[in-house]
Structure 1
Amino acid sequence: MDLKLTKSFLSTATAQFKGQVQVPDETLFSLPEKVLQFGTGVLLRGLCDYFIDKANKQGVFNGRVVVVKSTDKGDADAFNEQDGLYTHCIKGLENGKLIEETIINSAISRTLSARNEWSAILECARNPEMQIIISNTTEVGIALLESDKVTSTPPQSFPVKLLAFLYERWKHFGGSAESGMVIVPTELIVGNGDKLQEIVLEQAHRNALEPEFIEWIDTHNRFCNSLVDRIVPGKPENATEILQKLGYQDDLVIMSEVYRLWAIQGDEHVRKVLSFAQVDEGVIIDKDIEIYRELKLRLLNGTHTLMCGMAYLLGFKYVKDVMANGYMSRIITNLMLGELSLAIPYKVDSKTADRFGRMVLDRFRNPYINHKLLDITVQYSAKMRMRNIPILMEYYREFGRAPELFAMGFAAYLQFMHAVKEVNGNYYGECNGEHYQINCNYASYFYEAWDNFDLHKVLSNRSLWGEDLTQLAGFEESVSKYL
């Protein structure tokens, strides 16, 4: 199969795709560039670029994306060879029904290398149509690098690359209010927009840039906190089969689940600029997005944390296989909707929590996503403390008793943390005659604790939980019963 997915290929082969894939109209390729995107990763392509492409196809946003590739690794050449086009396979459950959809995404106009094409990136700053900056540079990308210079070609860190772009824009447009940007980082840290703005302003001062420019950054640019949620594993396992049916080669093909959420903290101005939000309920622009963070943290992440150790010790490997088991599916459903959703430490309407929880259960059941239980156990103790202990404390405030299924999941967590051997600083538990690695900063603590296990001592360890869990009436007894 030698034919590669390109604009010229689409112009001659559209007829063969009828009923198989959504193909972009040629008019979309001439839309102006409105978005600068730092990052080529699958999450940006499977979520943010998905929304932009969907809006363009409905004649709403009418803008394309310039992607900045910041590292030497990756596939910038593949993007340019394919004119920015890529196949996106969407598979999963929605309201219990199986959904399968394949689209060709045309949101990306071109990809530029920060190392080799920095001048072309700064040229984008002089584009009056450019309105939006999106990033996903991983959590370590939003960091203050002491010696970074705005005059470097290019600067080392993402915040100073952004600063250099804004500085070029400010100089070119004379500091006009209209030239300000809406900046939406999607890195998985709380308050990502606030943190990015703080570093950009600090670096502006360190680089001794004009006070008028610094005021322009602060006054006319919007740094929006955001929360993203969609499982995008990347290339589907059956990619060869899919592409053979379509009749072309695509080195950028990705798959994702059906569920999508991009919650952005913003006002009417932000809503106007991010007009692609109109076409999909998965984009939410609101002054307060904390409720979406709490729902995800407590119901999706919290349930994962309480189920993963128990399910793994029972012989399961993937989340989807756990949910395919009737008994385990009932336990997890009751844990999430009957305990966790009732004690979210944030004011959440019960119907909202229930509706969100049922969407999460659909995601857990997705037969196309191979989500390993062992991957969820990484930093198990920190996750238990951050995601679940606040729910436990709230449950006691509300009901004054131990949540039964929570206690079961907690007991399984303790059992999972039972290391039976240590090799070169790595700790291993044992399940069904096989060893598994315990990737947790508290693995050494539990290795020693299990030598002569004292549940009361573990539960009362405030350095672990931030609370003395033995003070919760009946919790120690419930955990001990399941242990």
Structure 2
Amino acid sequence: MQLSITNISKIKAQENLIIPEETSLQLPEKVLQFGTGVLLRGLPDHLINIANRQGFFNGRIVVVKSTSNGDTDAYTEQNSLYTLAVRGIDNGEKIAYDEIISSVSRVLSAQNDWEEILQCAANPDMQLIISNTTEVGIVMEKDNVHASPPQTFPGKVLAFLYHRFKIFNGDADKGMVIVPTELIPDNADKLLSIVLEQAHQHGFEIAFIEWLENHNYFCNSLVDRIVPGRFNKQEQAATEAKLGYKDELMIMSEHYSLWAIQTDSAKVKETLSFAQANPGMVLAADIEKFKELKVRLLNGSHTFSCGLAVLAGFKTVKEAMADDAFNLFITRLMQDEIADAIVSESISKEEAIAFSGKVLDRYRNPFIEHQWSSICMNYSSKMFMRNLPLFYQYAEKKSAAPALISLGMAAHILFMRSQKKNDASFYGDNGEPYLISDPNIAWYAQAWQQNGKETIVASVLANKELWQSDLNEIAGFTNEVNYWLQQLLENGAKKTLQHIQTKTPAE
């Protein structure tokens, strides 16, 4: 039996399966979504589905498939229904349930159904545009917004808004809320600037420009949820057998979710009423705090620990978290050092500790195979972007070099010790060769050749092309990193991890 509206009533109720009520399939279309990717299906579409079940928002989503890859046949066959398998840890407890998502009403192809998409602009219930067109979607390129369809995502947004402006004669109440989820800084600000520039290039009337700027709300947002996507064939078959139906669109996500949207507008908050049903949603005038927490505690701890994990022989995050010594390392790294470094007027120590607890739950998720080798890609640039401020902030606040941050940096330096092989790639060795994918690896390899173990730390920390500063100038940092590098060289990563229970900074 295939998942579809016709077969919904035939699906047997069972524990941990959420089946939509028939009334949810009749709700009006209120959202236009650009993108069919798993992040959108696993986060915004899910959050709207939760709200609809609880009587908030009460609207469905028209999805625009922007790329020419693939087709919409599976969506058509399943009436846009799909199963989201939520798997994770919350406060140490396993979470596992399956939810049939009914918040998507239909999926249209920008290439084939552009006129039908524009007709959505005439729908008075339409309130919200969301998107995830990847980082390359929000770029300024020449476009013809009168084409069917325009080629660029900003061009499509502009064409839709201009059509709505014309249909409703510039009615101020018919402006839209636009929330991009692309993972770039100030995503909505950038989108608005491009849409405005294209509007000027096309010579649109001043009345439209004013309506665009004053009665539409472009809101920066930050999303965070791991959505691995489809199960492997074995897991898919087992899940379908348990549920009693086939689902070509089934995907899996972790339990944790964050969607922080920057706004202080009452109209936007009213439009985003589904936030009331979702503790993972934040509507705030400033979302920088949430970016800082995510980048430093989640991404930053990943980067401090990935090299150490590989050197210790761990393949996946969940495998490393099952090791008591590694678990202690990453817990203390976040709660004793990174948290202290980022405390500010907007972030309390309690908030940082609470956020780190959520991160630890995510790291311990037994349902996700998160490979350390993938996390180590572009290692040096990640260390710079995510962690450079922490070196300075901790030293300034504590007047000491951070022990575990320094261990993470020492592991980074040792991880990058490599040899160039016949395939022109660089490989490190932790007892078995591992591929290093980093644009700066040739420099690291040369630095290791030119320096002994006593001087390599100072050489790496002094490279201003990597760090835009000389990290040797941070009091005690060179000595602390060097201490840990010698421990790693002499004792190996696993024994070094055992040592952190007794080591204190600058010991």
| TM-score range for the pair, normalised by the shorter chain length | over 0.9
- Do the aligned partners of residues 419 and 151 (structure 1) sit closer, same or farther apart at CA in structure 2, a change above 3 Å counting? same
What are the Cα deviations for residues 371-413 of structure 1, in whole angstroms up to 9, with x where unaligned? 1111111111111011111011000110111100111110100
Q: Distance in 2 between matches of 1:449 and 1:62?
A: 60
Q: Which residue of 2 aligns with 1:249?
A: 246
Is 1:328 aligned with 2:326?
yes
Q: Which residue of 2 aligns with 1:360?
A: 359
Q: Which residue of 2 aligns with 1:239?
A: 236
Aligned residues, how many? 477
Q: Distance in 2 between matches of 1:346 and 1:40?
A: 38
Q: Which residue of 2 aligns with 1:165?
A: 160
1:410 match: secondary structure: helix
1:250 match: secondary structure: coil
Q: Distance in 1 between matches of 2:52 and 2:165?
A: 28
Aligned equivalent of 1:45, options 41, 47, 51: 41
Aligned equivalent of 1:319, options 298, 317, 320: 317
Q: Distance in 2 between matches of 1:362 and 1:93?
A: 5
Q: Distance in 1 between matches of 2:254 and 2:63?
A: 23
Q: Which residue of 1 aligns with 2:269?
A: 271
1:163 match: secondary structure: helix
Deviation at 1:17, TM superposition (A): 2.4
Contact between 1:344 and 1:391, CA under 8 Å: does it hold in 2?
yes
Q: Which residue of 1 aligns with 2:95?
A: 99
Deviation at 1:91, TM superposition (A): 1.1
Uncovered stretches (5+) of structure 2, i.e. residues with no partner: 486-507
Q: Distance in 1 between matches of 2:86 and 2:50?
A: 13
Q: Distance in 1 between matches of 2:217 and 2:411?
A: 45
Q: Distance in 1 between matches of 2:308 and 2:469?
A: 23
Q: Which amino acid aligns with 2:402?
A: P
Deviation at 1:236, TM superposition (A): 2.5
Deviation at 1:75, TM superposition (A): 4.8
Aligned equivalent of 1:212, options 207, 210, 232: 207
Deviation at 1:439, TM superposition (A): 1.4
- Do the aligned partners of residues 345 and 140 (structure 1) sit closer, same or farther apart at CA in structure 2, a change above 3 Å counting? farther
Q: Distance in 2 between matches of 1:423 and 1:61?
A: 59
Q: Choose 221-230 or 444-453, whichever is displaced more.
A: 444-453
Give the alignment's Cα RMSD to 1 decimal: 1.2
Q: Which amino acid aligns with 1:209?
A: F
Contact between 1:294 and 1:346, CA under 8 Å: does it hold in 2?
no
Contact between 1:17 and 1:246, CA under 8 Å: does it hold in 2?
no
Q: Distance in 1 between matches of 2:414 and 2:466?
A: 16
Q: Which TM-score applies when normalising by structure 1? A: 0.97
Q: Distance in 1 between matches of 2:286 and 2:388?
A: 24
Percent identity over the alignment is 50
Contact between 1:345 and 1:394, CA under 8 Å: does it hold in 2?
no
Q: Which amino acid aligns with 1:259?
A: Y
Q: Distance in 2 between matches of 1:39 and 1:345?
A: 37
Aligned equivalent of 2:56, options 53, 60, 63: 60
Contact between 1:55 and 1:61, CA under 8 Å: does it hold in 2?
yes
Q: Which amino acid aligns with 2:463?
A: N
Q: Which residue of 2 aligns with 1:128?
A: 124
Q: Which residue of 1 aligns with 2:369?
A: 370
Q: Which amino acid aligns with 2:42?
A: G
Is 1:308 aligned with 2:306?
yes
Q: Which residue of 2 aligns with 1:469?
A: 471
Q: How does 1:298-447 map to 2 (within 5 A)?
A: 298-344=296-342, 346-347=344-345, 348-423=347-422, 425-434=424-433, 436-447=434-445
Q: Distance in 2 between matches of 1:230 and 1:52?
A: 15
Contact between 2:227 and 2:252, CA under 8 Å: does it hold in 1?
yes
1:451 match: secondary structure: helix
2:43 match: secondary structure: helix
Q: Which amino acid aligns with 1:78?
A: A
Is 1:82 aligned with 2:78?
yes
Q: Which amino acid aligns with 1:344?
A: I
Contact between 1:299 and 1:340, CA under 8 Å: does it hold in 2?
yes
Q: Which residue of 1 aligns with 2:484?
A: 482
Q: Distance in 1 between matches of 2:140 and 2:277?
A: 36
Q: Distance in 2 between matches of 1:177 and 1:344?
A: 42
- Do the aligned partners of residues 75 and 303 (structure 1) sit closer, same or farther apart at CA in structure 2, a change above 3 Å counting? farther
Q: Which amino acid aligns with 1:316?
A: F
Contact between 2:81 and 2:102, CA under 8 Å: does it hold in 1?
yes
Uncovered stretches (5+) of structure 1, i.e. residues with no partner: none
Contact between 1:186 and 1:226, CA under 8 Å: does it hold in 2?
yes
Q: Which amino acid aligns with 1:105?
A: I
Is 1:71 aligned with 2:70?
no
Deviation at 1:345, TM superposition (A): 6.8
What are the Cα deviations for residues 261-307 of structure 1, in whole angstroms up to 9, with x where unaligned? 00000122111001000101111101011111000000000000000
Aligned equivalent of 1:26, options 22, 42, 45: 22
